[in-house]
Amino acid sequence: MNKDPFILGSGPPTRTAEMISRAFSTGWNSAVTKTICLNHKEMVDVSPRIYRLKNGLKNIELISALPAEQWAREINALKEKYPDKTIIASISAEANNTKAWQELAVMMQEAGSNALELNFSCPHGLPEKSMGNTCSDIPEAAASITRAVKEVSKIPVWVKLSPNITSIIHLAGLCVKNGADCITATNTVKGFAGLDISTGKPELPVYGGLSGNMIKPVALKAVSEIVSKVKCPVSASGGVSNWQDAVEFLLLGASSVQVCTEVMFNGYKVIDKLKSGLADYLGEKSIDGVRGASLKYITSFSELDKTVKLKAKIDRKSCINCKKCYISCRDAGYQAIEEDIRINSEKCTGCGLCGCVCPVRCIEMTELFTFRGT
């Protein structure tokens, strides 16, 4: 029974075949190469290109600067060394150059790759060359590239989509209609790292891609929407930093789970805890047994039960009297918490804000309301 849905995602940890080889020997069973292109000489990176943000990174790194021919040779050697491991070749070309996509696809297929991942989603640098995110921005391009690659490929074709578009469901549907075997959702989220206010200058004058745990909610939404509405295999990518995150993606229907930023922070060894944590969680169950089990809980706003009216309840024994709930409720809520941290049931609408600001989490929303606390 396969209990390993983990894939080392395309990026710095898969920059060379030597690195992928080390990842394999550390316990990873699958990896997506750093994105390979034909115009590698144009991939001139700036330094620095990786910035730390709260709960993640912002980067403006380009795709692989290594020649496609070198990648093909090295993928071939990797497959000889690790015949049972899975290598997914990530490829990229211009949005209107289907021939280049086909050439790369054939090259990587003949090298022995197990699947292809079409990078339609790098948000920085590449769109200026009509590559990367441009392919997600122009649905017709995504459709024709997918179709063209499918024409020449004997191995599964995955498409990695951008979250920086209006409707990822529409785009995923279009790619699947044109032959995509799996959707990778998603790449980095476009963002801006901010300014040094003493100089007024940005740390980085270019919009870049956000990754790591802070983008997990974006990826969870994309994965669950695509699984529910498009009904195709989805490889999750975005914000997995531990096995619990991976379980969430599986419960929302992901077929596999890619990890990149967490490996950038803590190295290939993170695979040990990812695999053992998931195995413990699954126990006797299989991944197929839990996949998508939580999708049934996602509904639309109009279907929510508006007759349930909850009230805040404070566990007085745990309360540290910091008054954060009182201040938030006074200035951004319903003036339902008095300064001595008692709740006025008439005024409380159960919005949940007080629970969000409580540092010791001693407030819950409950139907069992006791007036003026206990």
Residue 175 known to be catalytic: no
> How many residues make contact with ligand FMN (CB under 6 A)?
28
Instruction: Return the number of the residue (109 or 188) whose C-beta is nearest ligand FMN.
Output: 188
Q: What's the rounded Cα separation, in Å, for the pair 195 and 193? A: 7
Which region, judged by CB under 6 A, interacts with ligand FMN, from 7-15, 76-84, 165-173, 313-321?
7-15
Residue from 37, 38, 43, 57 binding ligand FMN (CB under 6 A): 57
Residues 6+ apart with CB under 8 A from 44: 62, 65
Query: Tokens for 293?
Result: 């089990």
Residues in 84-113 that interact with ligand FMN by CB under 6 A: 90
Q: Does 61 bind ligand FMN (CB under 6 A)?
A: yes
Residue from 136, 178, 187, 256 binding ligand FMN (CB under 6 A): 187
Query: Tokens for 11?
Result: 């990026």
Of 69, 119, 64, residue with least CA distance to 91: 119
Task: Quote the least distance from Cβ 56 to ligand FMN, whole Å.
Answer: 7
Residue from 30, 113, 188, 224 binding ligand FMN (CB under 6 A): 188
Q: Cα 263 from chain centroid?
A: 14
Q: What's the rounded Cα separation, in Å, for the pair 252 and 55? A: 22
Of 80, 66, 236, 68, residue with least CA distance to 163: 236
Q: What's the rounded Cα separation, in Å, for the pair 58 and 36? A: 21
DSSP E strands, the chain: 6-8, 30-32, 50-53, 56-59, 86-91, 115-119, 157-161, 182-185, 189-191, 195-196, 201-202, 208-211, 234-237, 256-259, 311-314, 363-366
Instruction: Return the number of the residue (223 or 337) whose C-beta is nearest ligand FMN.
Output: 223
Residue from 63, 157, 174, 337 binding ligand FMN (CB under 6 A): 63
Longest Cα–Cα distance in the chain: 73
> What's phi and psi for 314, nearest 5 deg?
-105, 130
Task: Quote the least distance from Cβ 307 to ligand FMN, whole Å.
Answer: 39
Residue from 50, 65, 138, 169 binding ligand FMN (CB under 6 A): 50
Instruction: Return the number of the residue (122 or 362) whose C-beta is nearest ligand FMN.
Output: 122
Residue from 3, 12, 147, 357 binding ligand FMN (CB under 6 A): 12
Residue from 141, 260, 312, 337 binding ligand FMN (CB under 6 A): 260
Site string for ligand FMN, 277-316 (x = CB under 6 A): ----------------------------------------
Residues in 135-164 that interact with ligand FMN by CB under 6 A: 160
Q: What is the DSSP letter of 211?
A: E
Q: 207 to each of 59, 131, 216, 362, how far by Cα in Å?
A: 9, 16, 19, 40
Amino acid in the structure at residue 232: C
Q: Catalytic one among 122, 329, 354, 358?
A: 122
Task: Quote the least distance from Cβ 57 to ligand FMN, whole Å.
Answer: 5
Task: Quote the least distance from Cβ 26 to ligand FMN, whole Å.
Answer: 17
Task: Quote the least distance from Cβ 268 to ligand FMN, whole Å.
Answer: 14
Site string for ligand FMN, 199-238 (x = CB under 6 A): ------------xx--x---------------------xx
Residue 139 host element (H or E): helix 139-152
Radius of gyration (Cα) for the chain, nearest Å? Answer: 24
Which region, judged by CB under 6 A, interacts with ligand FMN, from 5-13, 149-157, 295-303, 313-321?
5-13
* DSSP conformation letters of 66-131: S-HHHHHHHHHHHHHH-TTSEEEEEE---TT-HHHHHHHHHHHHHTT-SEEEEE----SSGGGGT-
Instruction: Return the number of the residue (235 or 328) whose C-beta is nearest ligand FMN.
Output: 235
Find the length of the chain: 374
Task: Quote the least distance from Cβ 200 to ligand FMN, whole Å.
Answer: 27
> Which residues belong to the active site?
122
List of residues contacting ligand FMN (CB under 6 A): 9-12, 34-35, 50, 57, 59, 61, 63, 90, 119, 122, 160, 187-188, 211-212, 215, 237-240, 259-262
